[in-house]
């Protein structure tokens, strides 16, 4: 019952009612209206009771100096003002504190849906092979050594090793790789990944909490728990504000024998402007960032972004668009044109479900090339396809696939394929009726703003690092294109976390920019996590502190400048509020202010803080 009452008193509607009553308490006597009960009592009850409860709780629950909080000082001032009958002053300090609490809660609140979504990816069933055939079993009942059959389109329920069959597996949930990975006998497969094509049998090697997906979930959970919120500035200052305020109030009352002056000291000493300085500036910065298509989830992230001196990037979907496109169509001789090569390959791949085949068909259709329906179509998982186009047999695949069909290999084709692979490109070799026709290369496409963004970060002395699950050749090729020299490839999620932890152990403040589910632990571990919001996974967006809704990497340097400006604004507001408070304390000691006029001066400091924050909202940052 008590908890529910406090929640109602701390709600926004209740606080607004308290503010209205405070205004009436000040205005009505000025126009000659006297009510039986001062409306400020409503403000004291609504805003003062939660404040008093918070102060008492900290006194009994906290240890050492942390018992002394800003809530304690404001509670003392409120009680003292009530004792001498100045209800407006009592209600004013309580109301300003309540507003600060609401603003701070709004700016620092963060949803926890990401972890729930990640956990929903965990497979719940598997197909176990027994002496009597196949049986569906719950994932938690699978044991090490069990043989499991994974059909096309099914999710791998545990970590294991392929013992029969061949296929291609989508591992993007763990590694972020844009292409499915071919799996043959002896290759490892991971929990949560998706079997794309052929059926395969695996032997379970890691089950339950030891599987890769469960480890990923555990990493996100641990990173969330380890990222404790920063202590409020007002509470940090309270350890010396409360004793100082009490000392000055007591000395003033003893020397002047005027209790009103002592109470006024307590009222003007309240750190309300101090409480408002951080949340109002953060609200203004978050508002401005929203206009630029950036969602900032917490003030802590905004503050830390200004201290970032190293930015780690995922590749696929972050530095690149995350989709395959045809980039090279290379006939082997002059007798075959690019159009002929592309038309044959796209006609053959028209029935393919492989991402490479789909990309070739999409590109050919974009070129308005006439495609022919294949009279027959067969696919060898992880190797290639064969199709009958009119009176010719067309093969599209890798070197092993063509050699399997007794296609004579040419040095020129090998050299071309090797060169393209060094550029991080996937290759499809095309043959017709036993003759090699050419090579089609596909690649993820680099975001046009990526190189300029990296250069701008380096200009402001911020290191850049590439952390990717892609292979080394692809990683180095794209890193070279954008100007990143520090490259770490073939990384699983826990290895990305390790790399970030190592950077932070070296004294760096690291920002991680990513888009995939596999990036979630790294986004949580880094001081600041930035997710590509429009195409990134929901889990990555929830795990991150900041989301780029337009996927515009050029906003990263802007974020850093905005953060620096926000911290400077907060520092200036705190300094100004302290100067005003000290001036008001002096006036209170001299008897120039009463609790009511002191509350108004004290309120003026809060107004200045809000106005300064408004200037931050309208500030223009040069791109």
Q: Would you name the residues annotated as active-site residues? A: 314
With a CB cutoff of 8 Å and minimum separation 6, the contacts of 145 are 203, 204
Q: How far is CA 519 from CA 297, 324, 500, 524, 544, in A?
A: 18, 20, 12, 9, 9
> What CA–CA distance (Å, rounded) separates 395 from 149?
29
User: Beta-strand (E) ranges in 284-408?
Assistant: 294-296, 310-313, 320-331, 376-380, 384-389, 392-397
Q: How is residue 517 annotated by DSSP?
A: G
CB atoms within 10 A of CB 548: 27
SS (H, E, C) 402-457: HHHCCCCCCHHHHHHHHHHHHCCCEEEEEEECCEEEEEEEEEEEECCCHHHHHHHH
What is the token pair recorded at 494? Answer: 């826990």
- For residue 465, give the nearest of 475, 474, 473 by alpha carbon: 475
Residue pair 548/554 in contact by the 8 Å Cβ criterion: no
Q: What angle do CA 67, 69, 75 make, to 5 degrees?
A: 110
Give the chain's radius of gyration (CA, Å). 33
Angle between helices 555-589 and 595-618 (to 10 degrees): 160
Buried b (16+ CB within 10 A) or exposed e, 396-421: bbbbebbeeeebeeeeebeebbeebb
Q: Quote the distance between the C-alpha of residue 17 and its chain's center.
A: 36
Among 554, 372, 546, CA closest to 454:
554
Element (H, E) at 5: helix 2-9
- Check if the beta carbon of residue 544 is closer than 8 Å to that of residue 521: no
Contacts (Cβ under 8 Å, ≥6 apart) of 191: 122, 123, 156, 157, 158, 159, 206, 211, 212, 213, 214
**Distance between CA 585 and CA 334 in Å, rounded?**
91
- Helix, strand, or coil (residue 269): helix
């Amino acid at each position: 019952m008590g908890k529910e009452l406090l929640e109602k008193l701390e709600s926004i509607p209740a606080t607004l009612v308290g503010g209205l009553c405070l205004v009436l308490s000040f205005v009505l006597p000025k126009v000659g209206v006297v009510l039986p009960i001062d409306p400020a009592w409503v403000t004291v009850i609504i805003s003062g009771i939660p404040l008093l409860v918070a102060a008492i709780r900290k006194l009994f629950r906290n240890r050492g100096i942390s018992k002394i909080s800003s809530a304690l000082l404001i509670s003392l001032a409120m009680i003292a003002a009530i004792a001498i009958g100045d209800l407006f002053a009592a209600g004013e300090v309580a109301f300003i504190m309540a507003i600060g609490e609401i603003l701070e809660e709004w700016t620092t609140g963060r949803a926890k849906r990401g972890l729930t979504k990640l956990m929903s990816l965990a497979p719940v069933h598997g197909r176990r092979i027994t002496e009597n055939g196949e049986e569906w079993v719950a994932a938690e009942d699978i044991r090490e050594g069990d043989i499991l059959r994974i059909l096309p389109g099914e999710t791998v329920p545990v970590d294991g090793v392929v013992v029969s069959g061949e296929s291609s597996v989508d591992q993007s949930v763990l590694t972020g790789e844009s292409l499915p990975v071919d799996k043959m006998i002896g290759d490892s497969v991971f929990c949560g990944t998706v079997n794309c094509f052929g059926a395969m049998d695996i032997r379970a090697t890691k089950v339950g909490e030891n599987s890769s997906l469960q480890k990923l979930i555990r990493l996100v959970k641990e990173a969330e728990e380890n990222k404790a919120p920063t202590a409020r500035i007002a509470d940090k200052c309270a350890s010396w504000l409360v004793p100082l305020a009490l000392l000055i109030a007591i000395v003033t009352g003893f020397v002047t024998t005027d209790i009103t002056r002592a109470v006024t000291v307590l009222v003007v000493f309240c750190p309300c402007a101090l409480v408002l300085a951080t949340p109002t500036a953060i609200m203004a910065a978050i508002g401005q960032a929203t206009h630029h298509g950036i969602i900032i989830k917490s003030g802590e992230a905004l503050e830390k972004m200004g201290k970032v001196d190293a930015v780690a990037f995922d590749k696929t979907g972050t530095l690149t668009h995350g989709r395959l496109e045809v980039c090279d169509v290379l006939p082997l001789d002059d007798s075959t044109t690019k159009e002929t090569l592309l038309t044959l390959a796209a006609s053959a791949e028209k029935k393919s479900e492989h991402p490479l085949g789909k990309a070739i068909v999409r590109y050919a259709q974009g070129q308005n090339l006439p495609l022919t329906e294949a009279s027959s179509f067969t696919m060898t998982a992880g190797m290639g396809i064969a199709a009958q186009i009119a009176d010719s047999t067309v093969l599209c695949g890798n070197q092993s696939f063509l050699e399997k069909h007794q296609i004579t290999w040419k040095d020129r084709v090998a050299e071309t394929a090797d060169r393209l692979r060094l550029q991080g490109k996937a290759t499809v070799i095309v043959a017709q009726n036993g003759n090699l026709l050419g090579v089609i290369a596909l690649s993820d496409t680099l975001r046009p703003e990526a190189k300029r963004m990296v250069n701008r970060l380096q200009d402001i002395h911020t290191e850049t690092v590439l952390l990717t699950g892609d292979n080394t050749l692809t990683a180095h090729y794209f890193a070279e294109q954008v100007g990143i020299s520090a490259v770490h490839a073939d990384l699983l999620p826990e290895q990305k976390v390790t790399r970030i932890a190592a950077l932070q152990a070296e004294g760096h403040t690291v920002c991680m920019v990513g888009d995939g589910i596999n990036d979630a632990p790294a986004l949580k571990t880094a001081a600041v996590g930035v997710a590509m919001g429009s195409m990134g996974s929901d889990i990555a967006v929830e795990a991150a502190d900041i989301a780029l809704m337009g996927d515009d990497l050029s906003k990263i340097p802007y974020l850093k400048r905005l953060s620096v400006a926000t911290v400077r604004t907060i520092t200036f507001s705190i300094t100004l509020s302290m100067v005003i408070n000290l001036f008001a304390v002096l006036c209170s000691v001299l008897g120039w202010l009463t609790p009511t006029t002191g509350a108004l001066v004290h309120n003026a400091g809060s107004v200045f803080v809000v106005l300064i924050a408004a200037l931050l909202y309208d500030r223009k940052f040069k791109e």
